[in-house]
């Protein structure tokens, strides 16, 4: 796994029950200084924390940063920087504490609210601070030089060192992209190439499944490059200047590919097969099938990067992949046309009818999946 760090204390046994935890943390620079949360005795931590309920990774990041700093993350700017895995004995019970922390580079908007600390955090005099990365490292180093520091102090110290190394060496994704793509011609070249790469991977997977299992999960594939006008409109929405640098950094769907499947279980199979390919890095997943939008919209979205090998460099290029069933695609196409016709101000009665249709589509997908499973079962019993 790229950009991965394991912190293994070794103070546990393999027969222990395992406590699993996933957390998301933000790396946010404002005017060259790092936004952190600091305790009264000088402990430094990146804003972030554990996932709750059915939250997505991005939803967790946005909520935790807002609670701890009062600043709101702009979801469109989020990109994965590092994954840190921790394994140690739990303090509270005989168990293995296993935590995966994803560290994201991100920006915040201009709004500021009061942080919402827990009673325990208030007792520690937790507060928001802005400081140079070097100062944050020195404070963390001082803490872990003592005898009573906590494992998370060491994790934060190691993370801060990685952030500084990334900035010094230009490893952060934003800097990498900005240095590599400088003109609109390069933009169209690398994003068109990325679509060709993903499309070829999908066709190969589909051919393999047909050859081995006599089954094609993919009905068809659509792809497109966002027009310059649409990109500029999106940048204006984000309050950003229309530059090549900002296009690559802030617009995640310049290259988009839509995969249409027969059944809902095919969606997750295809997503897993793509995720397992070693050179495809998954930046973000939004599962609108398990968590539909209020409008009724359902689809599975993946934001990935794939390396494009040019004559003199490698460009890791973002592609947004949407995977949905035929029925979901039909509904989404109709919704898009209606929203376009009414310029986003769809009458309430039509909105309600769209939601009702979305529910019908969902029931249709469920019934067709069950029917297919029954047919497959009968087929296997006869063989």
Q: So what's the pLDDT on residue 202?
A: 95
Residue 363 has pLDDT above 70, yes or no: yes
Domain 4-171: which CATH number of 1.10.3720.10, 3.40.50.720, 3.40.50.300, 3.90.79.10: 3.90.79.10
Cα separation, 86 vs 64, in Å, equals 20
pLDDT tens, 42-60?
999 999 999 998 889 999 9
Of 107-111, 141-145, 200-204, 239-243, the poorest mean pLDDT is in 239-243
pLDDT tens, 218-271?
999 999 999 888 888 888 887 888 888 888 888 889 999 999 999 999 999 999
Q: Which residues, in sequence order, are bridge partners of residue 229?
A: none
Q: So what's the pLDDT on residue 174?
A: 43
CATH number of 177-378: 3.30.460.10
Of 152-156, 267-271, 378-382, the poorest mean pLDDT is in 378-382
Q: Where are the domains of the chain?
A: 4-171, 177-378
Whether 248 and 181 have beta carbons less than 8 Å apart is answered as: yes
Q: So what's the pLDDT on residue 176?
A: 42
Band (pLDDT 50/70/90 cuts) for residue 183 is confident
Q: Considering the chain, what is the average pLDDT of its residues?
A: 88
Q: Chain-centre distance of CA 352, in angstroms? A: 30
pLDDT tens, 87-102?
988 877 888 989 999 9
Letter string b/e over residues 211-248, b meaning 16 or more CB atoms within 10 A of that residue's CB: eeeeeebbeebebebbeeeebbebbeeeebeeebebbb
Band (pLDDT 50/70/90 cuts) for residue 1 is very low
Instruction: List, in sequence order, the alpha helices (H) in the chain.
Output: 57-69, 119-123, 133-144, 151-169, 173-180, 184-213, 228-238, 244-250, 264-275, 326-341, 348-382
The pair phi, psi for residue 163, each rounded to 5°, is -65, -45
Active site residue 272: no
Average pLDDT over residues 369-379: 84
Band (pLDDT 50/70/90 cuts) for residue 172 is very low
Whether 46 and 26 have beta carbons less than 8 Å apart is answered as: yes
Average pLDDT over residues 184-190: 85
Whether 195 and 203 have beta carbons less than 8 Å apart is answered as: no
pLDDT tens, 262-307?
999 999 999 999 999 988 988 888 899 999 998 999 999 999 999 9
Q: So what's the pLDDT on residue 382?
A: 34
| Percent of residues, the chain, with pLDDT higher than 70 | 95
The Cα diameter of the chain in Å comes to 72
Band (pLDDT 50/70/90 cuts) for residue 179 is very low
Average pLDDT over residues 136-150: 90
By three-state DSSP, how is residue 383 classified? Answer: coil
Catalytic residue among 38, 173, 197, 320: 320
Residue 2 has pLDDT above 60, yes or no: no
Of 180-189, 338-347, 349-358, 365-374, the poorest mean pLDDT is in 180-189
């Amino acid at each position: 796994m790229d950009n991965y760090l394991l912190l293994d204390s070794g103070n546990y046994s393999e027969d222990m029950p395992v406590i699993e935890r996933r957390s998301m943390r933000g790396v946010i620079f404002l005017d060259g200084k790092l936004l952190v949360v600091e305790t009264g005795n000088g402990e430094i931590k990146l804003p972030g924390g554990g996932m709750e309920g059915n939250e997505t990774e991005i939803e967790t990041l946005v909520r935790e940063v807002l609670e701890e700093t009062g600043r709101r993350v702009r979801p469109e700017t989020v990109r994965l920087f590092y994954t840190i895995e921790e394994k140690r004995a739990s303090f509270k019970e005989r168990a293995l504490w296993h935590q995966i922390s994803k560290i994201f580079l991100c920006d915040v908007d201009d709004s500021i609210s009061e942080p919402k600390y827990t009673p325990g955090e208030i007792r520690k005099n937790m507060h928001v601070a802005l400081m140079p990365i070097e100062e944050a490292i020195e404070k963390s180093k001082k803490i872990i030089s003592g005898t009573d520091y906590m494992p998370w102090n060491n994790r934060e110290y190691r993370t801060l060192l990685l952030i500084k190394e990334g900035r010094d060496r230009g490893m952060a994704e934003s800097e990498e992209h900005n240095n590599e793509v400088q003109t609109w011609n390069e933009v169209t070249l690398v994003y068109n190439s990325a679509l060709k790469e993903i499309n070829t991977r999908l066709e190969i997977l589909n051919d393999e499944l047909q050859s081995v299992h006599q089954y094609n999960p993919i009905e068809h594939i659509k792809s497109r490059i966002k027009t310059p006008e649409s990109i500029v409109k999106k940048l204006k929405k984000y309050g950003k200047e229309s530059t090549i640098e900002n296009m690559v950094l802030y617009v995640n769907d310049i290259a988009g590919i839509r995969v249409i499947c027969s059944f809902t279980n095919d969606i997750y199979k295809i997503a897993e097969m793509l995720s397992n390919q070693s050179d495809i890095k998954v930046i973000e997943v939004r599962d609108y099938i398990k968590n539909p939008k209020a409008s009724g919209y359902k689809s599975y979205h993946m934001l990935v990067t794939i390396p494009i090998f040019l004559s003199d460099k490698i460009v890791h290029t973002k592609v947004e992949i949407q995977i949905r069933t035929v029925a979901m695609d039909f509904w989404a196409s109709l919704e898009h046309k209606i929203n376009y016709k009414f310029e986003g101000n769809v009458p309430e009665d039509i909105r309600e009818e769209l939601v009702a249709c979305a529910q019908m589509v969902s029931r249709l997908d469920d019934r067709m999946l069950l029917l297919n499973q029954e047919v497959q079962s009968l087929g296997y019993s006869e063989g």
